[in-house]
Amino acid sequence: MTAIKTRLISEHERERFNNFIQRHPKGHVLQSYEWGEVKSATGWKPYRMVLESKNNIVAAVSVLERRLPFINKPIFYSPRGPVVDFSKPEHMKGILEGIKSLARERGAILWKIDPDVTRDSGVDVQLLRLGFRALSRGLNFEGVQPRFVFRLPLDKSLDEIFASLASKTRYNIRLAARRGVKVRDDCGKDDLRVFYDILQETAQRDRFLIRSFEYYEVIWRCLVEKGMAKLFMAEYAGEAIAGTLAFAFGDKVWYVYGASSNRHRRVMPNYALQWAMIRWAKSLGCRIYDFRGVSGDLNPDNPLYGLYRFKKGFAGDFTEFIGEFDYPLAPLWYQLWVKGEPAYREWRGKVASLKDRLKSLGRG
- Can you give the pLDDT of all 364 residues of the chain as single tens digits? 468 899 999 999 999 999 999 999 999 999 999 999 999 999 999 999 999 999 999 999 999 999 998 788 999 999 999 999 999 999 999 999 999 999 999 999 999 999 999 999 999 999 999 999 999 877 888 888 999 999 999 999 999 999 999 999 999 999 999 999 999 999 999 999 999 999 999 999 988 889 999 999 999 999 999 999 999 999 999 999 999 999 999 999 999 999 999 999 999 999 999 999 999 999 999 999 999 999 999 899 999 999 999 999 999 999 999 999 999 999 999 998 888 777 766 656 555 555 555 554 443 3
The secondary structure of 185-237, three-state, reads: CCCCHHHHHHHHHHHHHHHHHHCCCCCCHHHHHHHHHHCHHHCCEEEEEEEEC
Looking at residue 364, its pLDDT comes to 38
Fold type of domain 4-141+321-360 = Aminopeptidase (3.40.630)
Q: Class of the 156-286 domain?
A: alpha beta
Looking at residue 354, its pLDDT comes to 54
CA torsion, ordered 296, 300, 303, 309, to nearest 10 deg: 70
Looking at residue 138, its pLDDT comes to 78
pLDDT in tens, 28-43: 999 999 999 999 999 9
The secondary structure of the chain, three-state, reads: CCCEEEEECCHHHHHHHHHHHHHCCCCCHHHCHHHHHHHHCCCCEEEEEEEEECCEEEEEEEEEEEECCCCCCEEEEECCCCECCCCCHHHHHHHHHHHHHHHHHHCCCEEEECCCCEHHHCHHHHHHHHCCEECCCCCCCCCCCCCEEEEEECCCCHHHHHHHCCHHHHHHHHHHHHCCCEEECCCCHHHHHHHHHHHHHHHHHHCCCCCCHHHHHHHHHHCHHHCCEEEEEEEECCEEEEEEEEEEECCEEEEEEEEECCCCHHHCHHHHHHHHHHHHHHHCCCCEEEEEECCCCCCCCCCCHHHHHHHHCCCCEEEEECCCEEEECCHHHHHHHHHHHHHHHHHHHHHHHHHHHHHHCCCC
Give the separation between CA 298 and CA 303, rounded to whole angstroms. Answer: 10
Angle of CA points 55, 111, 127, to nearest 5°: 80
Give me the residue spans of the domains in the chain.
Answer: 4-141+321-360, 156-286
Q: Which amino acid makes up residue 313?
A: G
Residues shown for the chain: 364
pLDDT in tens, 274-304: 999 999 999 999 999 999 999 999 899 999 9
156-286 shares the fold of 4-141+321-360 = yes
